[in-house]
Amino acid sequence: MSDGGEEDLGSYKNPRTSASIQSSSTSCHLASTSGPDEFSRAISKAAVAQILQATGFDGSRKSAIDTLSDLTIRYILSLGKATSFYANLAGRTSANLFDLVQGLEDLNFSGAGPESCFGDSGVLTELNRFVKAEDPVPFAQFVPKFPICRVPKKNPTIDQIGEELMGKKHIPGWLPAYPAPHTYMHTPVWPERTDDPREDKVKQVKQRRKAEKSLLSLQKRIFASGVGGFEPVSSGTSSSSFDKGKRVIGENPFLTPPLPHGAKEVSEIAPPIEADAGPLRRKSVLEAFGPIIEAANATDLNAGMGTDPDGRNAIAVKRPVVHFKLGVKKKSVALPLALDDKREKLVFREDDRDEKKRRAEMILKESMDNPQDLTLM
């Protein structure tokens, strides 16, 4: 700021050039955008804008108002410097009115010689005239006292809070009080249950319905292609219920009372006579279906299944009902591929019938996986 107030004593008599304050717009631009006194510069800018408005201006360029606000600050600084200079010259540290008037006279007012008195001093007279002429325009906003120096707030002591220390007489009262109990108490937090039983149920039902749907469509496809004979609902009289592609939904075959021995003619059910034909035997599905597949290979499947109920075909149609219960535990279709030679010969005799065989296996597996779905449909 030393370049701001350059008092030229030689030009003291010149009324207008006693203070030559060098100001360039570039420096004030730099100072106004950032810096520690950004706040005060903003206030100064607002004050200058108010003064300009009171003077009669409608608007201002940004650079002009920056310059003027910078000039305001420099003026105050120069005046303060001059005043303190005169105070120090008189041997005082704190300035008074006379130092200020001297500073003012140095700064921009002159015409009053050293012999002039204060009452009719040019400075004070002009200022007095100004004060009387101009209406006071107070600053538009509240300005806090700045710079704000932050004093860290102390924690209240035990005495100030008036906290009761039960049985803790050894703690002096001037010590800081205990923090709030929730800051050091142990408060357990239980994990919240995220799943909703109702939602779970809805999901389950949806999944089940989807499975049923897919099974139904699969079965429809199978029956349409003529392998409907493997349907487990064939508990009625074999001739009536065995129309092609038609499913009998009337009664649950698993709930019907068992037939007395000999009431139903189940001939030639020949369980495989291997040595391992125990109850825990695996791979029974394909084994059981060996004759069926054989029959399908031998005769035309579409012609032989539904239309002619007697003979081997009829037996092949009825057989799955019996063998469902034997093979309920087994779920894999891929296992029968590792059969021994004999059954392999039975199964894979002809390749062109493989498609139908696979379908038969598929529907069998499906029905074994969820027999209740099958019966419900």
Partner 1 sequence: MMSGNSSGAASAVGGDGRHDDDAALTEFLSSLMDYTPTIPDELVEHYLGRSGFNCPDLRLTRLVAVATQKFISDIASDALQHSKARVAAPIKDNKSKQPKDKRLVLTMEDLSKALREYGVNLKHPEYFADGPFTGTDPPTREE
Interface positions, 77-106, toward partner 1 (CB under 8 A)? 77-81, 83-84, 86, 89-90, 93-102, 104-106
The tokens of 47 are what?
Answer: 């004050």
Identify which of residues 42 and 259 has a Cβ nearer to partner 1 in the complex: 42
Identify which of residues 145 and 198 has a Cβ nearer to partner 1 in the complex: 145
Nearest approach in angstroms of CB 89 to partner 1 is: 6
Nearest approach in angstroms of CB 153 to partner 1 is: 24
Q: How many residues does the chain have?
A: 377
Can you tell me the distance from the alpha carbon of 360 to that of 255, in angstroms, rounded to the nearest whole number? 25
Helices 122-133 and 97-107 pack at an angle, to 10 degrees, of 90
* Half-sphere CA count of 218, side-chain side, radius 13 A: 18
Nearest approach in angstroms of CB 194 to partner 1 is: 54
Nearest approach in angstroms of CB 14 to partner 1 is: 8
Identify which of residues 77 and 333 has a Cβ nearer to partner 1 in the complex: 77
Nearest approach in angstroms of CB 113 to partner 1 is: 8
Which of 64, 96, 99, 67 shows the shortest CA–CA distance to 83? 99
Q: Which of residues 29-68 bind partner 1 (CB under 8 A)?
A: 40, 43-45, 47-52, 54-65, 67-68
Can you tell me the distance from the alpha carbon of 52 to that of 24, in angstroms, rounded to the nearest whole number? 20
Cβ pair 116, 101 in contact under 8 A: no
Can you tell me the distance from the alpha carbon of 297 to that of 319, in angstroms, rounded to the nearest whole number? 17
Identify which of residues 1 and 270 has a Cβ nearer to partner 1 in the complex: 1
Using the rule CB under 8 A, give the single segment among 72-80, 152-160, 251-259, 271-279 that binds partner 1: 72-80
Q: Which of residues 116-175 bind partner 1 (CB under 8 A)?
A: 116-120, 123-124, 126-128, 130-132, 134, 136-139, 143-147
Cβ pair 232, 324 in contact under 8 A: yes
Nearest approach in angstroms of CB 31 to partner 1 is: 13
Can you tell me the distance from the alpha carbon of 361 to that of 286, in angstroms, rounded to the nearest whole number? 8
Nearest approach in angstroms of CB 152 to partner 1 is: 23
Regarding 227 and contact with partner 1 (CB under 8 A), the answer is: no
Cβ pair 122, 112 in contact under 8 A: yes
Q: Which of residues 281-320 bind partner 1 (CB under 8 A)?
A: none
* Element at 50 (helix H, strand E): helix 38-55
Regarding 248 and contact with partner 1 (CB under 8 A), the answer is: no
The tokens of 333 are what?
Answer: 């279709």
**Gyration radius of the chain's alpha carbons:** 55
Identify which of residues 102 and 235 has a Cβ nearer to partner 1 in the complex: 102
Identify which of residues 97 and 303 has a Cβ nearer to partner 1 in the complex: 97
Identify which of residues 97 and 175 has a Cβ nearer to partner 1 in the complex: 97
* Half-sphere CA count of 331, side-chain side, radius 13 A: 3
Nearest approach in angstroms of CB 190 to partner 1 is: 55
Identify which of residues 42 and 322 has a Cβ nearer to partner 1 in the complex: 42
